[in-house]
Structure 1
Amino acid sequence: MDTTHQLIVLILFAVTSFVLAADPSPLQDFCVAIDEPHDACITSNLYYSDSMFVNGKFCKNPVLVVAEDFTLGGLNIPGNTSNQLGVFVTPATVAQLPGLNTLGISLVRIDYAPYGGLNPPHTHPRATEALVVLEGTLYVGFVTSNPENRLISKVLYEGDVFVFPQGLIHFQFNIGKTKAVAFAGLGSQNPGVITIANAVFGSNPPISDDVLAKAFQIDKKLVDYLQAQFWTKTN
């Protein structure tokens, strides 16, 4: 095989690999999520199955879909930030808005208590996040992966936008004297969230204190103390 043919093969291989690595495009207009399949129905003299299984969810029969499947209210209501972290997250993912299923997007509202409200270090395993500040002043940042572990951070004001890449640990902290409010769009209908402190010190069953003591280079008594804390639910 000559050099030209080898180059063509390599290009085709690279393009094919890229396509196979990407999420598949939807092959239908929508797939409104339902918890369980229901009985079949007959509409307009045609027989329909009431559901099918797509991307981890059953799909509602398209002929039964209504506007309410794509509508969610309440994101104008402030969340209760009277907790240890001073933060409340109001999600609009596929769990709350069935019409998002297979569409690859979701939304959250985040409320922060005056000075000190913290959305603690966490990751979204399935989504990049774009956050816009509607009110207040936030110190935000994310940490790059090993071996650099570089902190990329910024103070944001009303109207500012910041992007947190998929899977990277990130946080938001209210450094203003008044409450703060932000909205964030996420690149998945089910982005997931792993709060680092909860995952490491609040797992069930607990991670061995031998493991954590060595990993963090701290005394086992401190590990036991951290594992005994009650982590706050923030949504």
Structure 2
Amino acid sequence: MGSHQLVALVLFAVTSFVLASDPSPLQDFCVAVDEPHNALFVNGKFCKNPALVTADDFTLGGFNIPGNTSNQLGSFVTPANVNQLPGLNTLGISLVRIDYAPYGLNPPHTHPRATEALVVLKGTLYVGFVTSNPDNRLIAKVLNEGDVYTFPEGLIHFQFNIGKTDAVAFAGLGSQNPGVITIANAVFGSDPRISDVVLAKAFQIDEKLVDYLQAQFWPYIN
């Protein structure tokens, strides 16, 4: 099987695992447009006149191109949600490609509006999610090529490349715009900053350590 066929099979398998959480559409499609002239506002986006819709509205290229993992985390996420692919509007689904350098990390984060089904295309990943209070139980597993793992909607989860080579995964998400909250960035990189007193008490650490952690994340939000 060729690489393009494998990618197509992976995308089909991933999207088959995802159940839509967005409201069900009341029409065949609603291609998102920014210009409201002669358009209908549905589910956060204006709908393009159906008579003007083309195949390009449902097409996005570039998922065969590796993302640049030359960063502190050693990972890169390439999204395909309604902002990149207007034809997804109201369809309740989106995709991402995730590239990992050796020992690269997609850090703990949540998708507030979507369940995620991830399939490993290349490499070996250690993945997991944490259940809600009061248990906060870690449910984790090592995945190999071809394995699929599901992250429930809204729960904190992560992926870590434990191999010495690059890794690649694709994921389907049950929302046209699932959103993402990266925990460390949100807590220590908020704008304006959360009070040192609040964070020191919440994490049971010294305020100087809070200042240090905020300094690590502050540049990324400006």
TM-score in same-fold range (> 0.5):
yes
Q: 1:29 to 1:232 in 2, by over 3 A?
A: farther
Partner of 1:53: 41
Deviation, 1:35, is 1.1
Partner of 2:24: 25
Partner of 1:182: 169
Amino acid at match of 1:112: Y
SS of 1:122 mapped into structure 2: strand
Q: Which residue, out of 109, 120, 131, partners 1:144?
A: 131
User: Structure 2: how far apart are the matches of 1:110 and 1:23?
Assistant: 23
User: Does the CA-based 8 Å contact 1:85-1:232 persist in structure 2?
Assistant: no
Amino acid at match of 2:135: E
Amino acid at match of 2:28: D
Partner of 2:78: 90
**Structure with higher RCO (Cα < 8 A, 6+ apart):** 2
Identity over aligned pairs, percent: 87
User: Structure 2: how far apart are the matches of 1:23 and 1:96?
Assistant: 18
Size of the aligned set, in residue pairs, is 200
User: Structure 2: how far apart are the matches of 1:185 and 1:231?
Assistant: 30
- Per-residue CA deviations over 1:74-93 (Å, capped at 9, x if unaligned) read 00000000000000000000
Alignment RMSD, CA only? 1.2
1:134 aligns with 2:133: no
Q: 1:24 to 1:191 in 2, by over 3 A?
A: closer
1:64 aligns with 2:35: no
User: Does the CA-based 8 Å contact 1:123-1:193 persist in structure 2?
Assistant: yes
Rg: which structure is higher?
A: 1
Partner of 2:204: 217
SS of 1:183 mapped into structure 2: strand
Partner of 1:118: 105
User: Does the CA-based 8 Å contact 1:71-1:97 persist in structure 2?
Assistant: yes
1:194 aligns with 2:181: yes
Partner of 1:163: 150
SS of 1:120 mapped into structure 2: strand
User: Structure 2: how far apart are the matches of 1:182 and 1:231?
Assistant: 29
Partner of 1:103: 91
Select between 22-31 and 199-208 the one with higher mean Cα deviation: 22-31
Q: 1:137 to 1:231 in 2, by over 3 A?
A: farther
User: Structure 2: how far apart are the matches of 1:120 and 1:110?
Assistant: 12
Amino acid at match of 2:158: F
Amino acid at match of 1:195: T
Q: 1:23 to 1:80 in 2, by over 3 A?
A: closer
User: Does the CA-based 8 Å contact 1:133-1:160 persist in structure 2?
Assistant: yes
Deviation, 1:232, is 8.4
User: Does the CA-based 8 Å contact 2:58-2:88 persist in structure 1?
Assistant: yes
SS of 1:223 mapped into structure 2: helix
Q: Which runs of 5+ in 1 are unaligned?
A: 1-21, 39-49
Deviation, 1:26, is 1.1
TM-score by length of 2: 0.88
SS of 2:24 mapped into structure 1: coil
